[in-house]
């Protein structure tokens, strides 16, 4: 994993399709309910927002503490630049591929219980989980503590993805399940 982001000042990223309503709702919630108190305590903190088709209201929020990048040519490079990946999903279903990508890259992912559905991560072990504005702000504040602690969460997240969500691992698990079914059918 690219650990360089843990050697710089804490910065946060949000990446996702900005024409998908759950992403818009989560980003709006983050910016309206959470970001103000965070910036009041840490005026140097910047949220970097990337994603295709950002609506006008997202562009209008750009300023010293919110940088809107629009669609980026290399999502991995974008994610790697920031130690904290924020995924404030309030609704939606299915596996969150961007969360898995962030974890696979060794980043600290801060998301909601909804965002982590289907992902076997544990609070402050492989991810940070927060469901209210106060919890989100407290989690970001917690990230200002020990950089090595953040690096360890990122490493454990990467290990979790490698052990449970890697394509080869998943294929092996499926093969074992099919083998058991075939043995039972004969």
Q: What is the pLDDT of residues 112-136, one digit of tens each?
A: 999 999 899 999 999 999 999 999 9
Which residues lie closer than 8 Å to 116 by C-beta, 6 or more apart?
Answer: 96, 99, 127, 129
Q: Strand runs (DSSP E) across the chain, as ranges?
A: 12-15, 47-50, 66-70, 84-87, 108-111, 128-129
What is the pTM assigned to this prediction?
A: 0.86
Residue pLDDT, tens place only, 14-61 = 999 999 999 999 999 999 999 999 999 999 999 999 999 999 999 998
- What's the rounded Cα separation, in Å, for the pair 181 and 177? 6
Where along the chain do its domains lie?
A: 3-161
User: What φ, ψ does residue 37 adopt, rounded to 5°?
Assistant: -60, -35
Architecture of the structural domain at 3-161: 3-Layer(aba) Sandwich (3.40)
135 SS3 class: helix
Asked if 153 contacts 123 with a C-beta cutoff of 8 angstroms, the reply is no
Q: How far apart are CA 163 and CA 12, in angstroms?
A: 26
């Amino acid at each position: 994993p690219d650990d360089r982001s843990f050697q710089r000042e804490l910065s946060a990223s949000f990446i996702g399709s900005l024409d998908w309503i759950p992403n818009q709702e989560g980003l709006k919630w983050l910016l309206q309910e959470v970001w103000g108190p965070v910036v009041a305590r840490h005026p140097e903190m910047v949220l970097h927002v990337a994603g295709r088709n950002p609506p006008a209201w997202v562009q209008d929020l750009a300023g010293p503490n919110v940088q809107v990048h629009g669609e980026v040519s290399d999502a991995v490079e974008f994610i790697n630049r920031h130690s904290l990946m924020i995924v404030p999903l309030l609704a939606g279903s299915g596996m969150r591929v961007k969360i898995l990508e962030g974890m696979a890259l060794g980043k600290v992912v801060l998301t909601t219980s909804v965002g982590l559905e289907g992902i076997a991560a544990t609070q402050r072990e492989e991810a940070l989980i927060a469901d209210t504005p106060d919890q989100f702000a407290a989690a970001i504040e917690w990230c200002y503590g020990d950089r090595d602690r953040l690096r360890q969460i990122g490493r454990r997240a990467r290990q979790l993805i490698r052990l449970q969500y890697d394509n080869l691992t998943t294929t092996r698990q499926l093969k074992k399940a099919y083998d058991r079914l075939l043995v039972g059918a004969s």
